[in-house]
Structure 1
Amino acid sequence: MNRKLKTLVAVLGAAGMGLAASQAQAQDKVKIGFITDMSSLYADVEGKNGALAIQMAIDDFGGKVLGKPVELLSADHQNKADIAASKAREW
């Protein structure tokens, strides 16, 4: 894994855990959302491999944060802001 991808995974993971921490008490899971281009022009930059890298990082750390399981939610925004916003609201 190249350096940029590792940095991206670390930033997304930290952001996801920070956002999920505010709701962690009310939920049984810690959810990390990853919305990226998986089917269009930039799919080769991150895409499905980015989601796979985050899942591998979750697995490497035992899949738990503060005793709660970590769940990765990933979606394809298809390079369209309205689809990305809709997915974010859905989660």
Structure 2
Amino acid sequence: MSNKPDRPSKRPAQSDVSDDDYVMKRQRNNAAVNKTRQKKRQEEVETVKRVHELREENKNLERTVETLRNELNLLKEMVLSFASQNKSNK
């Protein structure tokens, strides 16, 4: 009772491809699509994991930089202090 027009089938005509060939082709295509989608999902998971690892590494490196800056400043102060003591002793 629907007034919708009939759509042509997306399936090839019987004369072009046999049913078995069509089914096999669709199964291969579906398998390939699923494999591609799964690979993409896996790559996304690995990318997120890598981003997390890099952020952690960056935090560690920033802490190392801060520690080294503090050490450098301390050593500079020690050198300046030593230099001023030697200057005043002469």
Structure-1-length-normalised TM-score = 0.26
Q: Between Structure 1 and Structure 2, which shows a larger proportion of strand residues?
A: 1
Q: Between Structure 1 and Structure 2, which shows a larger proportion of helix residues?
A: 2
Q: Which one has more relative contact order, counting CA pairs under 8 Å at least 6 apart?
A: 1
